[in-house]
Amino acid sequence: MNNFQTMQAIAKPDPSNFAYHELSSSEVAERLESNADRGLSQGEVTQRQQRYGLNELVSKPGKPAWLRFLLQFNQALLYILLIAGVIKALLGSWTNAAVIWGVTLINAIIGFVQESKAEGAIAALAKAVTTEAIVIRDGRKQQVPSQELVPGDVVLLASGDKVPADVRLLTVKGLQVDESALTGESVPVEKSTHPLAAATPLAERNNMAYAGSFVTFGQGCGIVVATGSNTEVGQISQSLDQSHSLSTPLTRKFARFSQTLLYIILSLASLTFFVGLGQGKSWTEMFEAAVALAVSAIPEGLPAVVTVTLAIGVNRMARRHAIIRKLPAVETLGGATVICSDKTGTLTENQMTVQAIYAGGQHYQVSGIGYAPDGEICTDGGKAIAVEDGLSVIELRNLPALQNCLIAGVLCNDTHLEWKDERWTIVGDPTEGALIVAAQKAGLEQAQLNELLPRLDAIPFESQFQYMATLHQGRDHNMIYVKGSLEAILSRCQGMYDSTGYAVPVDRERVQMEAECLAKQGLRVLALAEKAVPKQQRTLEHTDLDAGLTFLGLQGMIDPPREEAIAAVDACQSAGIQVKMITGDHLTTATAIAERIGLRKEGQLVGFTGQQLAEMNDADLSQAVESGSVFARVAPAQKLRLVEALQSRGEIVAMTGDGVNDAPALKQADIGIAMGKAGTDVAREAADMLLTDDNFASIEAAVEEGRTVYQNLRKAIAFILPVNGGESMTILISALLARDLPILSLQVLWLNMVNSVAMTVPLAFEPKSDLTMEQAPRDPREPLLSGKLLQRIVAVSVFNWILIFGMFEWARQTTGDIAVARTMAIQALVAGRIIYLISVSHLSTAIGARIRGRSFAFNDMRAIGAGIFAAIVLQILFSQWGVMNTLFGTAPLNWNQWLICLIPVLPMAVLATFVNRLDAID
């Protein structure tokens, strides 16, 4: 390409920055410098590929492994530990420094491994499939990889195809496209080629086909107007990188806690340092004392214990079909106060199902959901239609109107059922699939009917006529079957069948009233009719349908809610969690689904449309999100605004979804939940959690696990911090009084890390409480250390200080050996901790139940038992093994001294009972 050509190419405007839906077909081709009949030349394709690049989304490069590992240290508590380690190293205490650095390293490794495992599981869900596209280039049809498409390419679309790029349609023949992943519309959109107003919403641009959608019926031809990141899907994907990434409530609380703790530690260390200098001590000695105080005040084991607790929660959730990408998201879900859920495929089956039929003046109810032909058709009186002789009271042949209505639905149909991957699926249009399944529930098989009445000709569905018709060869005469909108069918009917199968004049008012009743239930209504023609007729024209049709009936269908979703929503609401439906579907349909699921709030079901939301200011929107349960015809930007409005009210928002249109809201929510199977890649990348079974019920299970994780975290904090409090008070008071320290800094590290971790990690395995899902969500504004929890920590800290100080002074005066005194003080503290551990765990409940003669699953307590056993073994080695004596400055104890160390058990049991009544952690 010469310089002049290069300048021309650069000067061309970006074709994606234009509203092509408002142009005619010829204007679109002219603007893109393409030919609707011959397409582009290969030379032009090459030039455009150089300019626009490949037709694929350019994903944001992931962080390298080394950076992700270093980010694990990005916590205030770990900063304090690292600084303390450096100070210890500068003072020559390399053992202390090595232990501190080892703690931070272990914590980082645990977090890195868990996040890497989650990312690996997510990557395994993605399928590397290369989509092929049929294009016209140089006047010939060619099959090329979709990545090679460029703006101006002429693309051919057929049933079953995935739309490879954003396409302005030039010709259509009964073309219907499933755009649910982009717009939330559960029913395939009927396409046309007519220009539309520039302000037409995305969901109503029926002359466009967008990348990532699927052709469910018919054929079409269009010209590519946008590829790669310039498509609607690509623009949403790019907006995710620009969205503000919120921290989770847990990380925010830990940040505030760490900051507060840092100020307290620095204040106490400074006080110790300057008071000691005032007492005439050297700055080196007091600097050592200040560092010892800082080390004692820092809960070295807490970051590791928190990470392990969250990691265990991640593994538990994975067993319940929920993959967590970031550890703090485990706790966030447990604290959710609102779940904003997409409708299609999340709360519903994403499988159209006939649920009501009106034929021969009679009403019928159809049971069963989805494409599995399981269920039956029943009369209003509850009598089932027989599938085989003898199975029911009524046989289908005794209901000729119903039978003919079902036959028409099967034969006037271009879809078929298929058993694939252990489940029933459809090949074709979901609406037509629903008609086939309904007939099978009455014993009518599609293959048999096609053999009995073979098709001779057909008129595919066209939006201008609003019907589809087929001609079939019969025994005595041929039959025309028609299905479509009520308006198109009823105007062409002169008669209808009564309940006995006799032809009577059509009662138009009654039929219209019945259709309206079905529509009010949120059902999509299809009318069916037939017409007998001579056997000589072998072709079908529109004029054959102008009059003379016999009305057969109405079939009302809907994308039904998942049965498990109904139970899950009820469980969430019982737990005090609001559930709100946010969908791109029609308000009537969304409200009907919401009624069935039980989304009423205070006995009312309030719904809003996207148009209503667009007219609201921030104050009105804030009121709407509080009172509303259903938000229909919502655009992606409005979903994002709804989530932000809820967060502005202090809500912890979980957003579920599977479509591209859900991605920005998933990113903004406190926790985004995407579908692992049916979800789009864009939605998965934006989410914090994925459901591997695409089951809304798994959310309820994950909420339960999240709440359990939070309770176990509170137990860990309530168990660890009192030791730090007691140690800090002991060292501070001893330093201020110029007395020997009852506990050395290296012994503090042993208690804070080895002993604390051994006894605290088992709390992460604590089973859920029976009341977990019966309690209201915790206040999002509640700090990590709530008032009652802080009172508990202070009370136990004071007890630990008295215990350490008292045992040390008594033992030193009795034995005259300061090493023995320090060892006894530590062992007495650990004995009291064991009793306190039992009191905060479910083991105390289990023991109480056994004493009262009730059964309790002690198997769930094995982790606590193992932790106590490990702590006892470690403490025996700590005092009785010579290596440990040398390393930690301890001394062996005799039997009498061991028994004396057990004295604090009884007062600790009394104190534990008191603080449990003050602050019930469960």
Which residues are annotated as catalytic?
342
Alpha-helical segments (H) within 521-635 = 563-574, 587-597, 610-614, 618-627
Structure tokens, 441? 């529930």
Q: Any long-range contacts for 774-779 (C-beta under 8 Å, 24+ apart)?
A: 774/574, 774/575, 775/575, 775/576, 775/707, 776/575, 776/576, 777/335, 777/336, 777/337, 777/575, 777/576, 777/577, 777/652, 778/335, 778/710
Q: How far is CA 477 from CA 13, 480, 532, 534, 538, in A?
A: 61, 10, 7, 5, 11
Spatial neighbors of 419 by CB under 8 A, at least 6 apart, are: 425
Report the SS3 class of residue 563: helix
Instruction: Let me know: does 633 contact 587? Beta carbons within 8 Å.
Output: yes
Instruction: Let me know: does 788 contact 863? Beta carbons within 8 Å.
Output: no
Instruction: Let me know: does 348 contact 561? Beta carbons within 8 Å.
Output: yes
Q: How far is CA 403 from CA 356, 364, 368, 558, 746, in A?
A: 14, 12, 19, 21, 86
Of 459, 458, 491, nearest to 473 by C-alpha is: 458
Strands 653-657, 338-341: pairing is parallel
Structure tokens, 311? 């990691």
User: Which single residue is written with the structure tokens 């409940």?
Assistant: 845
Cα–Cα distance measured from residue 653 to residue 631, given in angstroms and rounded to the nearest whole number: 16
Report the SS3 class of residue 660: helix
Of 569, 161, 168, nearest to 343 by C-alpha is: 569
Q: Any long-range contacts for 513-521 (C-beta under 8 Å, 24+ apart)?
A: 514/358, 514/554, 515/358, 515/486, 515/554, 518/356, 518/358, 518/554, 518/556, 519/556, 519/588, 520/588, 521/356, 521/556, 521/558, 521/592
Which secondary-structure segment (H or E) carries 529? strand 524-533
Q: Tell me the β-bridge partners of 171.
A: 221
Cα–Cα distance measured from residue 291 to residue 309, given in angstroms and rounded to the nearest whole number: 29
Q: What DSSP character marks residue 57?
A: -
Cα–Cα distance measured from residue 721 to residue 727, given in angstroms and rounded to the nearest whole number: 10
Q: b/e string for 514-533 if b means 16 or more Cβ within 10 A?
A: bbebbbebbbbbbbbbbbeb
Instruction: Let me know: does 540 contact 459? Beta carbons within 8 Å.
Output: yes
Report the SS3 class of residue 614: helix
Spatial neighbors of 671 by CB under 8 A, at least 6 apart, are: 248, 329, 332, 333, 336, 653, 654, 655, 688, 689
Q: What DSSP character marks residue 416?
A: E
Structure tokens, 111? 């977090």
User: Which single residue is written with the structure tokens 């330093």?
Assistant: 735
Cα–Cα distance measured from residue 26 to residue 498, given in angstroms and rounded to the nearest whole number: 52
Three-state SS letters, 367-396:
CCCCCCCCCCEEECCCCEEECCCCCCCEEH
Instruction: Let me know: does 841 contact 715? Beta carbons within 8 Å.
Output: yes
Instruction: Let me know: does 552 contact 529? Beta carbons within 8 Å.
Output: yes
Of 237, 185, 239, 181, nearest to 210 by C-alpha is: 181
